[in-house]
Amino acid sequence: MEKILGWIQQAAGLRQCKHRGRGTVGGVFLLHVIACDRVYFSNILKAKVAVA
């Protein structure tokens, strides 16, 4: 979990959220988590293709 939060703060630029409200901030956070997962899984797939 710390790896995901660190990526969101550094690479995705969500250190200071510009939005207000629990629902809006939660939605922005969810989109960043989805983006982090896509980056993470694409790196895993690239590594498996390189090995195979």
The residue range of the domain holding 28 is 2-51
Question: In the prediction, which pLDDT does 52 show?
Answer: 62
- The rounded distance, in Å, linking the Cα atoms of 32 and 8 is 6
Tally of CB atoms within 10 A around 2 = 6
Please give the chain's pLDDT, 52 residues, in tens. Answer: 777 777 777 776 677 777 788 888 888 888 888 888 888 888 888 887 777 6
Alpha helices, DSSP H only, in 1-52? 2-10, 22-51
- When divided into structural domains, the chain yields a total of 1
